[in-house]
Amino acid sequence: MRIGIVGASASGIYTAIFLKRKHPDWKVDVFDHADKVGKKLYATGNGHCNLLNENFSGRYFNCPEFIDGLLSKYPLPKLKEELANLGIATLNKGDLIYPLSYSASSFVSYLNGVALSLGISFHLGVEVKAYEANKTITLYTSEGPKAFDKVIFAVGGLSQPALGSNGSLLNEFSNHGYAFKTAQPSLCPLKTKEKTKMISGVRHEAKITLLDNKKIVYEEVGEILFKDDGVSGIAVFNASAFIARNPSGHYELEVDLFPNLEIDKLAKYLDCAKKNSPASEFGAVLEEKFAKYLVFAMKMQGDKSLEATLKRLVFHGLELYPFASSQVTSGGLDLMQIDAGFASKKENNVSFIGEMLDVDGLCGGFNLGFALLSAYACSESL
């Protein structure tokens, strides 16, 4: 059996390894236009490679029923077991699961070594331009045509094109009759109508609340980072996922800078600080340039007190940062076009896995976890 995998992504590498371990006599070739294996993996988990999450479930994805259906067959303990079978020891930091090396580069290097030891062939710097599905599947590559019994596409989405996800085959898939949900950048900073340049670089632990038409869509407590033209941080990234899934909404972001303090207690702190140090009262709770910004924001919002602004700093006109600044792509190949084993319902011997599907999760190992889950489910079905 000859297997062609397009995309040396996390899902592509996992699938190649699982198939070759299961069928040592099969010939497995992996193609990627990038110059090295798993290029996007190097940037995951801030360079530490967040593989999974102890709370891995559908509730963290745009398609909960689809994910929970897969997990009913391949639950988290099974996925951990398969990693262990590959010699991958893991490390927990809270609910986040990392390789024991705590290094994305070491993890990729190890996976590459496993693949090579199994006899998997990598064709790097080779572009797949088109394909033809007949009795065999022909890939038309920059090295010429290549024939396979089955082909698995693991080409990713549009996020971080500098790391290899450039959507170069989207038109080809459309020519084959596949439908795609419009792609949007997800897990990215948010631009705001309000000017934030004067507090660019300021970090603060806060509770963010995303509202759509005044209805709460998402809430999370975490560190927020202010940028020249908006806001960033893990909590904001997660909020961006909900905007990406419904870009036509009318959103605003509320930031509570002191979620563990009631407004009356915060007012007492500020009043006491003003009495003791009239010239620098804000220094008791905030760094100076942030305090100046909040006085400006208080006037803009029409708040009667600083503590009201501290508990509800509002941002409007939210826009997603571009794909280059996003961690994953929201949207992709419609899930109705694949079966439970990720095989195409339109073409025989063609499968689709990973980020190119209309599956996106929140931060915390969920998207890389789906790469593993889809790879294992696909390999088990072949």
Quick: pLDDT tens for 122-152.
Answer: 999 999 999 999 999 999 999 999 999 999 9
Predicted TM-score of the model (pTM): 0.95
Contact status, residue 150 vs residue 382, Cβ threshold 8 Å = yes
Quick: pLDDT tens for 242-276.
Answer: 999 999 999 999 999 999 999 999 989 888 877 88
Structural domain spans, the chain: 2-184+331-381, 190-320
Over residues 2-8, mean pLDDT: 97
CA–CA dist 358, 356 (Å, integer): 7
Exposed/middle/buried for residue 314 (C-beta within 10 Å: 0-12, 13-18, 19+):
middle
Residue with tokens 């560190």: 223
Quick one: fold of 2-184+331-381?
A: FAD/NAD(P)-binding domain (3.50.50)
Q: What is the pLDDT of residue 318?
A: 97
Q: What is the pLDDT of residue 279?
A: 62
Pairwise pLDDT comparison (25 vs 289), residue with the higher score: 25
Q: What is the pLDDT of residue 252?
A: 97
Residue 298 pLDDT greater than 90, yes or no: no
